[in-house]
Amino acid sequence: MLFQKMASHIVGYPRMGPKRELKFALESFWDKKSSAEDLQKVAAGLRSSIWKQMADAGIKYIPSNTFSYYDQVLDTTAMLGAVPPRYGWNGGEIGFDTYFSMARGNASVPAMEMTKWFDTNYHFIVPELGPDVRFSYASHKAVDEYKEAKALGVNTVPVLVGPVSYLMLSKPAKGVEKTFSLLSLLPKILPIYKEVISELKAAGASWIQFDEPTLVLDLDAHQLQAFTTAYADLESTLSGLNVLIETYFADLTSGAYKTLIELKGVTAYGLDLVRGTKTIDLIKTNFPKGKFLFAGVVDGRNIWANDLASSLGTLQALEAIVGKDNLVVSTSCSLLHTAVDLVNETKLDDEIKSWLAFAAQKVVEVNALAKALAGQKDEAFFASNATAQASRKSSPRVTNEAVQKAAAALKGSDHRRATNVSARLDAQQKKLNLPILPTTTIGSFPQTLELRRVRREFKANKISEDNYVKAIKEEIKKVVDLQEELDIDVLVHGEPERNDMVEYFGEQLSGFAFTVNGWVQSYGSRCVKPPIIYGDVSRPKPMTVFWSSTAQSMTSRPMKGMLTGPVTILNWSFVRNDQPRFETCYQIALAIKDEVEDLEKAGINVIQIDEAALREGLPLRKSEHAFYLKWAVHSFRITNCGVKDTTQIHTHMCYSNFNDIIHSIIDMDADVITIENSRSDEKLLSVFREGVKYGAGIGPGVYDIHSPRIPSTEEIADRINKMLAVLETNILWVNPDCGLKTRKYAEVKPALNNMVAAAKLLRTQLASAK
């Protein structure tokens, strides 16, 4: 099958809808306010509009099965029937009850582990596998969605998570040896992939896309051989289909590239040429004759308009290598990681708006490049793009000389606090007088509908600032009173003034722009609205001091000042791509440093600087880890290097694998770190069992806040005992895994009550054991 000359392809597309339609449909279904049929109807409408939009834009290779009710890895787990026994599934087609129980837990059993999708802020549910798992074809979603699109007149490219990447992203189930080879399960899952492929062929599919993003990781010979083995086994089943292997997020090593281009039965290779620019050298050296290159030149992870002239030059150079009919213009990865449509942004000023492209605009860019490559260049479109590129480079609003000088002056110091952490903790204890196993929460409390209404109406100028401040103060008082009633030791104000921990700070920092509907899915129904960092960053005025001081005035207990750290603000924003990321991060660090010092002056003795996304930004290649960790950890230390020994600095991290960066976490030199632990089966504790010494305060989470399930006092006490087996009593804190904003008060109150009761129970037992 030959390509048409204007060949264009989209790796994947956002699922939530331009106004978060899927989010609201999911939450309505979970709250039992709507039926499964209602949810399916919303989903079908979104899929239909996405396929139509791409078809109308002229995209030739349109993906299907990239829509998901939660995430694509969980969809694959359902397809393979790999349901952990605790969910009580007895075979047959997997329905919503089992599917969402795996994702969110239920009243009787906890959810599966959730972790970050490579180095993005998107999450996936980690498969739990072992030698005894009985795989079966239990979800026909891929075939059903292909048929659904075909009935609408759109012949799509069905997308599957590739078998090797699926296994490499899994973990051994509880009770299975940690050394168990997950890749040994390939012979058990490939028969199910064959069933799916056969059904897709029978339904009329001519193309199939396997996403194998683990090919960009540092792989050993055994792992690379698994790809060769898998696709050799699938070759006969794939016969008659055009097969695309899609990779993204980084360069391929020469070994991975060689493995990829030698895979049996494969027609085409999708490569990220935005974050994988070095891969172009491998293509120039050796590209197999007659194969097709899906060239990912349009960035699927950021919102800047493509430099069309530059991309066209890259494509023309590639065309000379792979052949005119063998080159397809594509996105670098799924557009899931960007906002949906710039048309919905009515409040962005025209200059900044001209610099941007959301998912809908990127689809247009892909097709414009494909047409230009085929000799049908839209001169007006390219000219407009060139004007916007020039405007961004020359705009005075991008550059602030004072900020650049301050950031440059940071070089030459490591910005450590003068006193070691042990001495600081002694000074802080004298001031704070906390019990052993002190209890706290991570920051946010439930965001009620009434609270969201107040914020929404204030932003729309429907209520006065005085009425807004009064409403927020009342919410803070409610949260403070509840914590005192529960007898929590170190309090938070609940963050009622914040919709999002990054957006809130970005709105108050210079160099940031904001969207109205620039929502991006993080997991399930959880959406975030990343700010856009377009210029140099500074803090014009205090951002949190008023609210933290207000909250502290309501209690005699320590009240945490709550800040988001510079690395997390960076990693959870759409970041300018015209200077190195570390330079932007240092600028943010200086802004947060000003805020920390103002909080201290206002009498806040405990300040939490969240770095939830520090691990997330770790490059996928080990050779790049040291440089990233050096500037990321340094950025955190900059924020608090000037405070007194008696001011206790906390940080928080969640939903990533931290064991491989534990020494960098120690190097952050925080006084206390709270860190996700319970949902990942207490994986974090293994690092301490292996002998790593941690001298600062630490609070591994004692229960999972992303599940509606309420843990018992006994269960939490058991978790604390496991922590005490590897950590000193005098450094251990008791806290949930993460913030509580996604939960309801009916879940939060009993869970926190049980958490405090467990801490008190252990205190009594420890005292009597002396």
| pLDDT tens, position by position, 693-704 | 888 999 999 998
Those residues whose C-beta lies under 8 Å from the C-beta of residue 264, and which sit 6 or more positions away, are: 228, 231, 232, 235
Q: Return all residues near 317 (Cβ < 8 A) that are at least 6 apart.
A: none
- pLDDT for 289-328, tens place per residue? 999 999 999 999 999 999 999 999 999 999 999 999 999 9
Q: Give me 60's structure tokens.
A: 């030739």
Confidence at residue 656, expressed as pLDDT on a 0 to 100 scale = 60
Residue 499 has pLDDT above 50, yes or no: yes
Say yes or no to pLDDT of 219 above 70: yes
Distances (CA, A) of 580 to 87, 274, 336, 355, 575: 46, 15, 24, 18, 10
Q: Is 585 within any annotated ligand binding site?
A: no
pLDDT at 597: 98
Establish how many alpha carbons lie within 13 A of residue 697's alpha carbon, considering only the half-sphere containing its beta carbon: 28
**CA–CA distance, 770 with 766 (Å, rounded to integer):** 7
Written as six digits, the tokens of 425 are 């903790």
Predicted TM-score (pTM) of the model is: 0.92
Cβ neighbours for 254, distance < 8 A, ≥ 6 positions apart:
282
59 is in an annotated binding site: no
Q: 488 to each of 483, 495, 516, how far by Cα in Å?
A: 5, 17, 37
**SS3 label, residue 566:** helix
Q: How far apart are CA 609 and CA 611, in angstroms?
A: 7
CA distances from 32 to 25, 27, 38, 744 (A): 11, 9, 11, 15
Mean pLDDT of 9-34: 95
Closest CA to 242 of 208, 194, 200: 208
Three-class SS state of 84: coil
Tell whether the model's pLDDT for residue 150 goes beyond 50.
yes
Q: Which one-letter DSSP state was computed for residue 271?
A: E
Q: Answer whether 8-70+137-165+174-394 and 401-410+419-708+726-743 agree in fold.
A: yes
- Per-residue pLDDT at 402: 95
For the chain, the distance separating the N- and C-terminal CA atoms, rounded to the nearest angstrom, is 78
pLDDT tens for residues 438-497? 999 999 999 999 999 999 999 889 999 999 999 999 999 999 999 999 999 999 999 999
- pLDDT, tens digit (0-9, with 9 covering 90-100), for 85-115: 999 999 999 999 999 999 999 988 989 999 8
679 has a pLDDT exceeding 70? no
Structure tokens at 151: 């009935």
Percent of the chain beyond pLDDT 70? 98
Write out the two tokens for 238. Answer: 């794939």
- pLDDT tens digits, residue range 535-586? 999 999 999 999 999 999 999 999 999 999 999 999 999 999 999 999 999 9
DSSP H or E stretch at residue 327: strand 327-331
What is the biggest distance separating any 2 CA atoms in the chain, rounded to whole angstroms? 83
- The better pLDDT of the pair 677, 657 is held by 677
Helix (H) or strand (E) holding 258: helix 254-261
116-120, 527-531, 703-707: least confidently modelled range: 703-707
Q: Is the pLDDT of residue 655 over 70?
A: no
pLDDT-based confidence at 3, cuts 50/70/90?
Answer: very low
Question: Does the pLDDT of residue 684 top 80, yes or no?
Answer: no
> Where are the alpha helices (H) located in 460-578, listed in sequence order?
465-486, 503-506, 545-552, 566-571
Which pLDDT does position 2 carry in this prediction? Answer: 36
Gyration radius from the chain CA atoms: 26
Q: Tell me the C-alpha distance between 233 and 256, whole Å.
A: 19
Whole-number Å distance between alpha carbons of 672 and 730: 12
Could you give phi then psi for residue 508, rounded to 5 degrees?
A: -110, 0
- 3-state secondary structure (DSSP) of residue 617: coil
Neighbours of 622 (CB within 10 A): 11
CB 631 within 8 A of CB 584: no
**Has 420 been labeled as part of a binding site?**
no
- Mean pLDDT for the chain overall: 94
The domains of the chain are located at 8-70+137-165+174-394, 401-410+419-708+726-743
Candidate CATH numbers 1.20.1740.10, 3.20.20.210, 3.90.1150.10, 3.30.559.10; the one for domain 8-70+137-165+174-394 = 3.20.20.210
Measure the CA–CA gap between 736 and 720, rounded to whole angstroms: 12
pLDDT in tens, 348-374: 999 999 999 999 999 999 999 999 999
- Per-residue pLDDT band at 500 (split at 50, 70, 90): confident
Pairwise CA distance, residues 23 & 625, whole Å: 35
- Residue 663 marked as a ligand binder: yes
436 labeled part of a ligand binding site: no
Determine the pLDDT at residue 680.
63
The yes or no reply on domain 401-410+419-708+726-743 and CATH 3.20.20.210 is yes
pLDDT band of residue 413 (cuts 50, 70, 90) is confident
**Catalytic residue numbers, as ranges:** 706
State both tokens at 435.
Answer: 């019990």
Size of the chain in residues: 770
Residue type, 650: H
Token pair of 441 as six digits = 């929460």
Helices and strands of the chain, counted as H and E runs? 27, 22
Render pLDDT for 732-750 as a digit per residue (tens, 0 to 9).
999 999 999 989 999 999 9
Give yes or no for residue 1 having a pLDDT over 70: no
Q: What is the pLDDT of residue 681?
A: 62
Continuous segment of H or E residues that includes residue 39 = helix 36-56
| 3-state secondary structure (DSSP) of residue 526 | strand
Closest CA to 113 of 737, 614, 673, 758: 737
- Residue 229 is predicted with a pLDDT of 98
Tell me whether residue 738 is annotated as binding: yes
- Residue 654's pLDDT is 78
Compute the distance between CA of residue 265 and CA of residue 201 in angstroms, rounded to an integer.
15
Dump the DSSP string for 135-187. ------HHHHHHHHHHHTT---EEEEE-HHHHHHT-EEPTTS-TT--GGGGHH
Scanning 266-411, the segments in alpha helix (DSSP H) are: 279-285, 308-322, 350-354, 359-373, 379-394, 401-408
The amino acid that residue 236 corresponds to is: S
Residue corresponding to tokens 């493509």:
306
Question: How confident is the model over 408-436, as a mean pLDDT?
Answer: 94
In this model, does residue 414 exceed pLDDT 90? no
667 is in an annotated binding site: yes
Q: What is the reported pLDDT for 688?
A: 73
9 is in an annotated binding site: no
Q: What angle do CA 428, 433, 436 make, to 5 degrees?
A: 100
pLDDT value of position 187: 98
The residue-averaged pLDDT of 142-149 equals: 98
Give residue 44's Cα distance to chain centre: 25
3-state secondary structure of 521: strand
Per-residue DSSP letter, 439? B
SS (HEC) of 198-230: HHHHHHCCCEEEEECHHHHCCCCHHHHHHHHHH
Note the pLDDT of residue 332. 98
As a whole number of angstroms, the distance between CA 683 and CA 687 comes to: 8
Tell whether 333 is in a known binding site: no
